[in-house]
Chain A
Amino acid sequence: MSYPILTWIVFAPLAGGLFILFVPKKSVNLIKAIATAATAIALTFSILLLLKFNYSNPAMQFVEKASWIPSINIWYHLGVDGISVGLIFLTTLLSFLACIGSFGIKTRQKEYYFLYLLLSTGMLGTFTALDLFLFYVLWEIVLVPMYFLIAIWGGPRREYAAIKFFIYTLAGSVFMLLGILALYFSSMPHTFNILELTKYSGAWTLGFQIIVFIAFYLGFAVKVPVFPFHTWLPDAHVEAPTPISVLLAGVLLKMGGYGFFRISFPILSDAAHYFALPFAFLGTINIVYGALVAMAQTDFKKMVAYSSVSHMGFVMLGLASLTVTGFNGALLEMINHGVITGGMFFLVGVLYDRAHTRDLNHFGGLGVKMPVYGGLLSVFALASLGLPGLSGFISEFLSLLGAYPVFKLITTISVLGLVITAGYFLYMLQRILLGPANEKWAGITDINKRELCTLIPLMILIIIVGVYPMSALKYQMTAISALIQKIGGFAF
């Protein structure tokens, strides 16, 4: 492993972005080509990473380490294990597909693709960084391009949504910064190394761990988002342009969940046990509350946004269980949700581009006019509501299965969320595809080839993981078992 594969994955998009800065504004096609090539390089390398990845080894692989700021022991330290490998693949895949999906952007393309690629680097870096300082820097780098992408190319209330997203996430993450510093000064010798810090977890008092856990929680919970920090999400998701909504739902939400897996739970394991019950409780609120609010929506995009809140509840519930099964479910749910909801936002975008409205009550009978679209929408909706045989079912089932022995009542209530989810997705399908055809949409065209290209890979993934879950689970199982052992959870 002599060549730095992770550095390639993380910085290929940024290199493309810097390249774009020197391309004249008018050569739009060249800009698009560079952006697509840059994300394609990252995707290629991440597929290579999947192939070369040794999934029976729970330790960090492909580690790259170089001194950055020696006087305070900060390192450029990247690595990948079973927890991050799937998320890296998901991120590169969605970055590539959403880049193709971005061809519909008609204004200020040069700035758009530069910011888009910067965003991509930030997200990939977050999933690979093993130094807390580096992690924080890359985590924060995501905010600025995201602000611009929503604020310039978004919907009517874009300015409000963008600044709300920015302030919310920043407010959460500055507390995370204080938590990082607290960890740094409590370790001896002082270190930002995530792997080193996990060795200290026994040495710290519960009180200290709880305070630092809360500091990190504020940073991660805003991103997930956990109730009651979720209010930025519907605004940001609804106002963002389609490709950005895809990345928001598909990748950004996972950064918070990943933070729990990588930092909060392994490093502060006593506090993790202490907070298991509140976690489960918040997870249930997310599931049920998110589903109920989604059901009440008439805006298609807002409904999908709230369904994200509901689905991320399963991640929280699986984490709270502190069991191998629950953790596997939670991690797989993050990846599956990224694929499914990413696809859902593409589908919302397809419809909106044609109809220029997202009001569910204005549609009807589109199944006749757009048969291919109708088929795809049904597959993604059924996957999202957890139909067995599709990927969403596997991860939700594993989460619930892991959580049931630990929290019987809470898990039982959470299952109700699944029923509501089925309700609003089917109601949505009924309102869009079935019923009497609305005369207004007589001239509507079916999905085109470019849009199909962005959706087919995601659908294939949904079916593969749904039919043969081990194809995805094999990457993460060893790492999850090692993690649970370290935390002291249940080997169930």
Chain B
Amino acid sequence: MNILDTFKFILPETILLLFALGILIYSLFTKNGNFLGALALAAVVLASLCLPQARASHAGLFFNMLTDDAFSLFFKVVSLFVAGLIVLVSMGYKALSGEHAGEYYFLLLVAAIAMLLAVSSNNLLMIYIALEMLSLVSYILVGFFKKDNLSSEGALKYFLFGALSTGVMLYGISLIYGLFGTTDLTIISQTLIAGQVNILVASVLLLLILAGLCFKCGLVPFHMWVPDAYQGAPTAVTAFISVGPKAVGFAVLLRIFTKNFFPLYANWADIAMLISIFTMTIGNIIAISQTNIKRMMGYSSIAQAGYILIGVVVGTASGMQGVLYYILAYVLMNLGAFGCVVLVSNSVRSDAIEDYAGLYKKDPVSAFCLSVFLLSLAGIPPLAGFFAKFLIFAAAIESKFIFLAIVGAVNSVIAVYYYVKVIKYMYLHEPKSKDMEKTSAPLQIAVAITLVGVLVIGLFPHFFLSWIGSSQSFFSP
């Protein structure tokens, strides 16, 4: 295929880039944050409309650097959805208003480009570049409140952990290049299947890559940055880093580990299982004692990543299905929950769980929505989070990972305690102050979209399951 022809497959990325530059330039002339936000939203919507159709024969694009299979399309849709909702949430986030809106939306759109590239990369080098691009943007976004100590601390920790783990990952990639003579995943998997390399060496190198991806997904033992970065970052950014990089991390994890390195399954499944068990348990247990809701949500998102990893460990088609469905549900419920946190912080100006006391009186709609999202995260039927957990546990039981399923089940009971604790403050305690400010429309739209999403994909998952089924068509162990 002619290189120029392939450009139409990166039309969404191009649109986002043009709008990003446009916003940056236009912000020199206006301080109107909402207008810039609307521009960013338009960019995301336009990009989603231009997403290419998945082709059955996914020929390599740009010298096989990118691919356009159905799997990448699924994650492109998720990434753009995340980006769009984050723009809506940011437009309603009062603390962000002001002079730096242009830079903020520019960074968000660049992050969206990085996500789109990362999920469609078919080359280790390209994966590294896209992930690093996403990481660098995330570091800046977390430290966006320059004068806030917590924000700077979170950004620095995020950066140090990120630099270390992506360094390890790059080291692994360079050794893989030494072993295979290429970074092209397709060729690597062909070499592996042909059995031309030492399996043991290859699987050790794989672990180095796993380290980098564990950092992106916030998996134990690379989770230390999560609580500080989540707490310090502007809440809209917390919402973004809790879903965006995580979804991308899992997309890459699935692509590398279940598609291309499947011959080494036996060598990494046990380690991934240990990671999953520790991630769930540590995340849930530490979350119990948190008093700041963003920090609690940080630990909760660690635990959620642990559940998702169960599906990867299982490594079957139904495990994959569970992972994709879980990511979809997780994106909806976590973004919804953070949307409500932004709603509350706009008027309470605090993220302490105590300050949620009596929310049912001050703002019954937000209290109801947040309860739905938290119950969904806890896995209470008939919400999306329950069906996601159901699919993951089903995949584990089907493949006889009984112990993993039991650990997951016990963990979901522990998790109920801290999710319900927030609900308890909202509904059982009396409010300290009476006032509640009027909230902005974009934020309400974002919360409404996620609320409907959580209910619909929980009650009528059939349509989404068939979409996911077609997205994982490449998967054949």
Contact = CB atoms under 8 A, between A and B. Distances in A.
A359 interface: no
B39 to A, nearest CB: 37
Contacts of B394: 72, 181, 184-185
A68 B462 CA distance: 8
A167 B428 CA distance: 18
Contacts of A69: 461-462, 465
A175 B397 CA distance: 12
A138 to B, nearest CB: 8
Contact of A178 (B360, B381, B409): B409
Contacts of A167: 413, 416-417
A147 B397 contact: no
Given A141-B382, A152-B428, A159-B424, A175 B409 contact: yes
A70 B461 CA distance: 10
B382 A178 contact: no
26 contacts: A69-B461, A69-B462, A69-B465, A70-B462, A71-B465, A71-B469, A72-B465, A133-B390, A140-B386, A152-B428, A159-B424, A163-B420, A166-B416, A167-B417, A171-B413, A174-B410, A174-B412, A177-B390, A177-B393, A178-B402, A181-B393, A181-B394, A181-B405, A182-B397, A184-B394, A185-B397
A144 B378 CA distance: 11
Contacts of B406: 175, 178
B381 A136 contact: yes
Contacts of A159: 424, 428
A148 interface: yes
Nearest to A182: B397
A85 B417 CA distance: 36
Nearest to B382: A137
A135 to B, nearest CB: 11
Given A144-B375, A147-B420, A178-B397, A71 B427 contact: no
A5 interface: no
B469 to A, nearest CB: 7
B148 interface: no
A140 B393 contact: no
Interface in B443-469: 461-462, 465-466, 469
Given A71-B462, A152-B428, A184-B394, A140 B416 contact: no
Contact count band on A: 20 to 34
Given A159-B424, A181-B393, A170 B465 contact: no
Interface string B378-401: 001110001000100110011000
Contact of B409 (A111, A133, A151, A177): A177
Given A163-B420, A181-B394, A151 B427 contact: yes
Contacts of B405: 178, 181
A133 B393 CA distance: 13
A163 B417 contact: yes
A181 B469 contact: no
B428 A137 contact: no
A303 to B, nearest CB: 28
Main secondary structure of the interface of B (DSSP, over half): helix
Contacts of A175: 406, 409
Contacts of B393: 177-178, 181
Given A69-B465, A71-B469, A151-B427, 6 more contacts: A70-B462, A72-B394, A137-B381, A137-B386, A167-B413, A177-B390
A29 to B, nearest CB: 21
Contacts of B465: 69, 71-72
A295 interface: no
A167 B390 CA distance: 18
Contacts of A68: 462
A143 interface: yes
Interface string B408-445: 01101100110010001001100000000000000000
Interface in A148-166: 148, 151-152, 159, 163, 166
A90 to B, nearest CB: 24
Contacts of B398: 181, 185
Contacts of A147: 420
A364 to B, nearest CB: 36
**Cβ-closest 3 pairs across A and B:** A174-B409, A137-B381, A181-B397
Nearest to A70: B462
A152 B424 CA distance: 9
A105 to B, nearest CB: 15
A465 to B, nearest CB: 35
A159 B413 CA distance: 17
A177 B462 CA distance: 20
B38 to A, nearest CB: 32
Contact of A151 (B402, B412, B424): B424
A184 B417 CA distance: 29
A140 B375 CA distance: 12
A450 B381 CA distance: 36
A181 B393 CA distance: 8
Nearest to A151: B428
Interface in B76-132: none
A69 B420 CA distance: 29
B391 to A, nearest CB: 8
Contact of B380 (A71, A111, A143, A151): A143
A81 to B, nearest CB: 25
Contacts of B416: 166-167, 170
A140 B379 CA distance: 10
A72 B466 CA distance: 11
B424 A163 contact: yes
A159 B420 CA distance: 11
Interface string A113-155: 0000000000000000000010011001101100110011000
A110 to B, nearest CB: 9
A2 B85 CA distance: 46
Nearest to B397: A181
A174 B407 CA distance: 11
A7 to B, nearest CB: 15
A141 B386 CA distance: 11
B265 to A, nearest CB: 20
Contacts of B409: 174-175, 177-178
A177 B387 CA distance: 12
A62 B310 CA distance: 41
B354 to A, nearest CB: 15
A192 to B, nearest CB: 11
A177 B392 CA distance: 12
Nearest to B469: A71
A159 B412 CA distance: 20
